[in-house]
Amino acid sequence: MSEVLLRCANLDKRFGGVLALAEVGFSIKRGEIYGLIGPNGAGKTTLFDVLTGIYASEGGGFRFAGEALAGLRPDEIAARGIARTFQNIRLFGNLSALDNVMIGRHVRTRAGVFGAILRTRATLAEEAAIEKRALELLGYVGIAARANDVARELPYGDQRRLEIARALATEPKLLALDEPAAGMNATETQELKKLLERLRADGITILLIEHDVKLVMGLCDRVLVLDYGRNIAEGPPREVQRDPRVIEAYLGGAAA
């Protein structure tokens, strides 16, 4: 359990004159739910973008399952086992829920042009397996009945679930969720919590950006707090909550 899955060291990311990430370093152990919190603009999503290869970091690096991944393309990183969801949901909106999840299987399957045209036995078997797995995953996140519905027309909570199912389809070792509870009501958040606990029980490590304090406190094993691109605190949620620097970051200097 205590084996390190992801270790980041001295990550820097600059946008023009703005330092979005400054010497961010932390490590996530296999099997834990690791929270990432901080005020708006603290650099949480930027950190996600660096970890999933959308941005390259200017300094530092990160090792995932023993391999240095900094500088790889997003698809290469997905192939190595980091999958993510997006803060502003990025589903393939006009496709069915099932198609969305089936696309997630792309990176774990191999049929090429000739297989597709000739419909070889291997291709047909693979296609059947892709569909079966996609349906299973829709069931896993609890929206099996929505398989043929258009993604964009799903209720908000179901869209969030679908994004998780699509990410799971890539067979990630680390699932990075960017504000999965945003815009959810209390019931939906409760259900999301159950889903995340089930994922943990099934051995998937989770990196979670979340503003819902109750959810973070109840779910995360450890939490990292970012402010202006720097980590200002790390530890179990209860301790971090009492850290004066964290209180200052959230409430401003006057409150401290």
Partner 1 sequence: MRGVNIFSKAQAQWLGVALVAIALIGLPFALASVGTAWVRIANLAILFVFLSLGLNIVVGFAGLLDLGYIAFYAVGAYAYALLASPHFNLHLPFWVILPIGALVACLFGVLLGAPTLKLRGDYLAIVTLGFGEIVRIFLNNLSQPVNITNGPQGISRIDPFRFGSFSFSQTETMLGLVFSGPIKYYYLLLLLLLLAIVVNLRLQHSRIGRAWEAVREDEIAARAMGINTTHIKLLAFAMGASFGGVAGGMFAAIQGFISPESFVLVESVMVLSMVVLGGMGNIWGVVLGAVLLSFVPELLRYTVEPLQKSLFGRSIIEPEVIRMLLFGLALVLMMLYRPAGLLPSAVRKRELAKVAA
Q: Is 161 exposed, middle or buried (0-12, 13-18, 19+ CB in 10 A)?
A: buried
Q: Does 132 bind partner 1 (CB under 8 A)?
A: no
Q: Are 208 and 177 in contact (CB under 8 A)?
A: yes
Q: Cβ of residue 86: shortest distance to partner 1, in angstroms?
A: 7
Choosing from 23, 127, 136, 243, the residue that interacts with partner 1 (CB under 8 A) is 127
Which token pair is 79?
């192939």
Q: Where are the beta strands (DSSP E) in 130-254?
A: 174-178, 205-209, 222-227, 230-235
Residue 63: other Cβ atoms inside 10 A: 16
Q: Does 130 bind partner 1 (CB under 8 A)?
A: yes
Stretch that binds partner 1, among 30-38, 64-72, 112-120, 189-197 (CB under 8 A): 112-120
Q: Enumerate residues 24-43 that contact partner 1 by CB under 8 A.
A: none
Stretch that binds partner 1, among 10-18, 164-172, 194-202, 208-216 (CB under 8 A): 164-172
Q: Are 226 and 44 in contact (CB under 8 A)?
A: yes
Choosing from 1, 113, 254, 255, the residue that interacts with partner 1 (CB under 8 A) is 113
* Beta partners for residue 27, in sequence order: 7
Q: How many residues at the interface with partner 1, by CB under 8 A?
A: 43
- End-to-end Cα separation, the chain, in angstroms: 37
Q: Cβ of residue 21: shortest distance to partner 1, in angstroms?
A: 19
255 contact partners, CB below 8 Å, separation of at least 6: 247, 248
Q: How far apart are CA 5 and CA 66, in angstroms?
A: 8
Q: Which is nearer to partner 1, 83 or 240 (CB)?
A: 83
Any idea which residue has 């198609």 for tokens?
99
Stretch that binds partner 1, among 6-14, 23-31, 52-60, 141-149 (CB under 8 A): 52-60
Side by side, which strands form the sheet with 18-29? Answer: 18-29, 4-15, 59-64, 67-68
Q: Does 84 bind partner 1 (CB under 8 A)?
A: yes
Which token pair is 221?
């094993």
Stretch that binds partner 1, among 33-41, 115-123, 184-192, 240-248 (CB under 8 A): 115-123
Q: Does 185 bind partner 1 (CB under 8 A)?
A: no
Which token pair is 174?
């680390």
Choosing from 16, 17, 66, 112, the residue that interacts with partner 1 (CB under 8 A) is 112
Stretch that binds partner 1, among 20-28, 74-82, 181-189, 232-240 (CB under 8 A): 74-82
Q: Which is nearer to partner 1, 52 or 189 (CB)?
A: 52
Which token pair is 230?
């720097």
Q: Does 182 bind partner 1 (CB under 8 A)?
A: no
**Where on the chain is the footprint of partner 1 (CB under 8 A)?**
52-54, 73-75, 78-79, 83-84, 86, 90-95, 99, 102-109, 111-113, 115-117, 119, 123, 126-127, 130, 150, 152, 166-167, 169-170
